């Protein structure tokens, strides 16, 4: 009774009413074209590393890129890019820090007085911060934004899925993680939220001996192909274990790291 059959302008709560979107509007000065979430089942599989490398790879292709570090309690993005100065703001919003090759970054570590201070905040405060990274940060002109999500399927991951206009997610896993069911839970969460799964990156896939060039499967043979099929997606990269990686991240020079391992991922993103 009283239903106008136009859910956008009707106040009647009938059973066919479209659910209200929880998506947030970005800062009015932001212009972000594609938003890609990077997720993993558990921590330590290289999600932040791959997020940074994807931003670097797309930037090298001439796209304007950005990283929104939603891993609030384990922020490692600024360090990988050698950013230690605090971000600035004005009445129009907070400005992202800019890396040496022009990538825009926002992370809680750029706002803390001391970058080693722990973030001892309750869940709603953490989720609120992630939302503000979208609504209050002035993202200039961004072709591809990568969101480094916290591992797992918790409160903050849900906030990102619900509040940000994600074009898709990339799953980062390691051969050992794949055998667990944690990564599957993350995939199912994305499916529940109707977010397209763009592909899987298998990190720490193998170690290539610098002496003989032979590839060693340190963590054993993985079943990444089968897993991708099961999740209805494809493998878009296999990254080796490379001590140079960890070194670049430690000394803040990730932008100097060159590898062709992400070429297929780059092609996929260009076609989005």
Nearer to ligand ADP, 7 or 261 (CB): 261
139 binds ligand ADP (CB under 6 A): no
Using CB under 6 A as the binding rule, whether residue 241 contacts ligand ADP is answered as yes
Judged by CB, which is closer to ligand ADP: 130, or 239?
A: 239
R_g (Cα) of the chain, nearest Å: 19
- When asked if residue 209 is in the footprint of ligand ADP (CB under 6 A), the reply is no
Rounded to a whole number of angstroms, the minimum distance from the CB of residue 67 to ligand ADP is 12
129 binds ligand ADP (CB under 6 A): no
Structure tokens at 79: 């360090």
Q: Which of 203, 235, 266, 269 binds ligand ADP (CB under 6 A)?
A: 203
Q: Which stretch binds ligand ADP (CB under 6 A): 85-93, 109-117, 182-190, 243-251?
A: 243-251
Site for ligand ADP in 57-86 (CB under 6 A): 76
Phi, psi of 5 (to 5 degrees): 65, 20
Nearer to ligand ADP, 30 or 99 (CB): 99
Structure tokens at 185: 């839970």
Closest by CA position to 42, among listed 152, 176, 204:
152
Q: How many positions of this chain bind ligand ADP (CB under 6 A)? A: 17
Give the integer Cα–Cα distance in Å for 154 and 189. Answer: 10
Q: Which of 35, 36, 45, 224 binds ligand ADP (CB under 6 A)?
A: 45
**Alpha-carbon gap, residue 110 to 130, rounded angstroms:** 13
Instruction: Compute the least distance from the CB of residue 28 to ligand ADP, in Å.
Output: 31
Tokens of 198: 């763009």
Rounded to whole angstroms, the Cα distance separating 190 from 208 reads 33
Determine, following the binding rule CB under 6 A, whether residue 43 of this chain makes contact with ligand ADP. Answer: yes
d(CA 90, CA 110): 15
Residue 112 DSSP symbol: S
Q: What is each CA distance from 9 to 6, 21, 146, 173, in whole angstroms?
A: 6, 14, 34, 44
4 vs 256, which CB is nearer to ligand ADP?
Answer: 256
Closest distance to ligand ADP from the beta carbon of 1 (Å): 53
Q: Should residue 107 be labelled a site residue for ligand ADP when binding is judged by CB under 6 A?
A: no
If one counts every other C-beta atom within 10 angstroms of the C-beta of residue 240, the result is 17
Contact call for residue 136 and ligand ADP (CB under 6 A): no
Q: Tell me the sheet residues that pair with 144.
A: 34, 65
Q: What's the closest the beta carbon of residue 43 comes to ligand ADP, in angstroms? A: 4
Minimum distance from residue 130 beta carbon to ligand ADP (Å)? 16
* Residue 117 phi, psi (nearest 5): -65, 135
> Residues interacting with ligand ADP, by CB under 6 A?
40, 43-49, 76, 203-204, 239, 241-242, 245-246, 249
């Amino acid at each position: 009774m009283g239903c106008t059959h136009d859910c956008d302008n009707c106040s009647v709560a009938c059973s066919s009413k479209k659910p209200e979107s929880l998506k947030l509007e970005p800062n009015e000065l932001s212009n972000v074209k594609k938003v890609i979430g990077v997720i993993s089942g558990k921590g330590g599989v290289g999600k932040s590393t791959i997020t940074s490398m994807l931003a670097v790879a797309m930037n090298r292709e001439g796209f304007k890129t950005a990283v929104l570090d939603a891993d609030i309690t384990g922020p490692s993005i600024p360090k990988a890019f050698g950013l230690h100065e605090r971000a600035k703001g004005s009445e129009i919003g907070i400005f992202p820090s800019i890396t040496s090759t022009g990538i825009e970054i926002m992370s809680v570590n750029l706002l803390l007085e001391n970058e080693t201070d722990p973030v001892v905040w309750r869940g709603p405060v953490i989720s609120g911060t992630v939302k503000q990274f979208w609504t209050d940060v002035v993202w200039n002109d961004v072709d591809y934004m990568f969101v480094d999500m916290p591992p797992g399927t918790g409160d903050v991951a849900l906030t990102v899925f619900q509040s940000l206009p994600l074009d898709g997610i990339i799953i980062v896993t390691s051969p050992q993680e794949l055998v667990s069911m944690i990564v599957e839970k993350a995939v199912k969460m994305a499916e529940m939220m109707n977010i397209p799964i763009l592909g899987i990156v298998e990190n720490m896939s193998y170690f290539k001996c610098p002496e003989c060039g032979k590839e060693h499967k340190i963590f054993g043979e993985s079943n990444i192909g089968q897993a991708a099929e099961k999740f209805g997606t494809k493998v878009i990269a296999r990254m080796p274990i490379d001590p140079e990686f960890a070194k670049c991240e430690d000394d803040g020079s990730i932008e100097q790291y060159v590898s062709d391992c992400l070429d297929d991922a780059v092609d996929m993103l260009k076609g989005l």
